[in-house]
Structures are given as structure tokens and as C-alpha cells.
Amino acid sequence: MAKLYGLGVGPGDSELVTLKAVRLMKECDVIAIPGENPEESVAYKIALGACPEIADKEQLLVTTPMTKDKTILENGYKAAAEKIEALLKEGKDVALLTLGDPTIYSTYIYIHRIVKSDGFDTEIISGVPSFCAVSAKLGDSLVDRDQQLHVIPASYQIEESLELSGTKILMKAASKFGVVKEILVEKDSKAAMIENCGMPEERIYHSLDEFPDKASYYTIVTIKE
């Protein structure tokens, strides 16, 4: 029975792709790519660096709407799932590329749930999450011993979450970056950040006073106690 694989390709560096993801890219009949254009897909660029053979494979572009409207979103996921299911019915294994790890804020998971509940085989292949790569690049741990780690989507309310003890990771911080920076300055937080970690456009900011006023989409902020 054909299967849908949600392939985590890691945070940016093609060498941080796992052996399993590379094997499945080679074995699957179809590579499904998020976006409208493979050349503009970050996940595809990462995957291509790890497994150039995918350039010659059958490709499926998976576009999902960027909105908070639930009906539009649901319809978008359903349409994507239908296209994938049509390929599965032809007996083709499909590998859908996903940035980072597919279990952490991925769009893949909504398509996965539909395909799975429609009775098809699905499997999630773990990838390195971006916040691990950010911490590695900063040269120290995220958490030790009894410290807690809190991953916070910063496009929502964050002030209360910054009071949590342990290490905080702010994801999706770009859209409200001005407000986020203001709050961090007010609290005199021990913050660092990386834009586009592991990619050619990578920029590292070791402390709050180095922070820019605007941040790009792939920005991760770490806040230590």
C-alpha cells in the first residue's frame, strides 16, 4: 500500500537532513513541495542539497492558503490532501517536505490528518527543529538539569509566557517583532536571536542590544534566565 511520508528536512543546513529522509526521498515516487514554485521553497532547497536526485522525480506542488480563516484553511488542506490521495491510489509513495520537524507547528500535519483519516498509510519522519540548531550555533545548551524549556509562538500573546521559569524560545516572532523587542528590552531579558539559521542569509545576534528593528520570517529568539 502506498504511503504518505511527512519528511522533516531540518532547519536550513542540508547536512542536518537525516539518513532516513535521504533514503525516503530516493525511494518515494513523488516529492511533494510546499509552495507555488520549487525554486522559492526553502524546504526544497534544503532537500535538494541533501539529495540532488529529487530534481528528476515527479513533483507535486502543495499550496495552502496563508490566512486565519478556518474555512478557507480547511478547504485548502482538503484540496492538497485530495491531490496526494490521487497519487497514493495510483500506488505512488509521496514524500512531503517539511521545514524543521513535522510535529512542531508544521502545515504538513493538517494534510496528514486528513489523509490518515481517509484510511491511507502515513508516517512522520522526524527532523532537527530550528531551535536546536539555533542553540548549537550560539554555542551553548538550551536547558540543563532541572531547567524547563518553553516554546512560545510569538505571533500571539507572549507577555505572561515570558514570566515562566527556564529557557524560552520565541518562534514566528517576525510579524510582531517590534512589540516583542520592546517587551524584552523592558524586562532586560538575556536574549539572543538568529535569522535564517543554517541558510546562506544567516544572521546571529548575541544580545538584545544587537537586535534589529525588523526580523525576517525565519527568526528564532532564545531567552535564558
Single out the residue of 11, 34, 38, 76 in contact with a copy of itself (rule: CB under 8 A).
Answer: 11
The answer to whether 191 contacts a copy of itself (rule: CB under 8 A) is no
Hey, which residues between 114 and 143 contact a copy of itself (CB under 8 A)? 116, 122-129, 132-133, 135-137, 139-143
Q: Which of 97, 89, 100, 127 is nearest to 25 (CA)?
A: 97
How far is residue 143 from each of residues 102, 126, 128, measured CA to CA in Å? 22, 21, 16
String marking each residue 140-179 x if it binds a copy of itself according to CB under 8 A? xxxxxxxxxxxxxx-xx----x--x---------------
Q: Which of 122, 124, 82, 118 is nearest to 104 (CA)?
A: 124
Q: CA-CA distance, 102 to 87, in Å (whole number)?
A: 21
Q: Residue 213 CB, nearest distance to a copy of itself (Å)? A: 25
Q: Residue 174 CB, nearest distance to a copy of itself (Å)? A: 15
| Cell matching residue 195 | 535569522
The three-state secondary structure class of 127 is: coil
The answer to whether 219 contacts a copy of itself (rule: CB under 8 A) is no
Angle between helices 19-27 and 42-50 (to 10 degrees): 90
Hey, which residues between 52 and 71 contact a copy of itself (CB under 8 A)? none
Binding residues (CB under 8 A) for a copy of itself: these are 8, 10-11, 13-20, 22-23, 50, 101-106, 109-110, 112-113, 116, 122-129, 132-133, 135-137, 139-153, 155-156, 161, 164
